[in-house]
Amino acid sequence: MKRREELDKYHDFSEAELLAETVRLKESLFRLKFKLALGEVDAVKRIRDEKKSLARLQTLSRQRQPRADKAAAK
């Protein structure tokens, strides 16, 4: 998936969906790293892509955090 398409998809997610996707990516990364260590798969590119997706999700979540804090303060 192209980066811009992925970002557009994530912008439409609610906070709960962002959290669920973050958990899913962390679990997937864990499994891929485990399989890579055992030599079962050669998924270096997939690991790299999932790390980037996870970073994008975490960044988006952090960007939304101050907005929520400011709205709660008013």
Which tens digits make up the pLDDT trace of 4-52? 787 778 888 888 898 999 999 999 999 999 988 888 877 888 899 999 9
CA 42 to chain centre: 21
> Using alpha carbons only, what angle is made at residue 58 by residues 45 and 48, rounded to the nearest 5 degrees?
5
User: Phi-psi category of 39—alpha, beta or left, where left has phi over 0 and alpha has psi -120 to 50?
Assistant: left
Give me the residue label for tokens 């998809």: 9
CATH, range 3-73:
1.10.287
With a cut of 70, say whether residue 60 has pLDDT above it.
Answer: yes
Token pair for 68: 């929520």
- pLDDT for residue 39: 86
* Domain edges within the chain: 3-73
- pLDDT for residue 7: 78
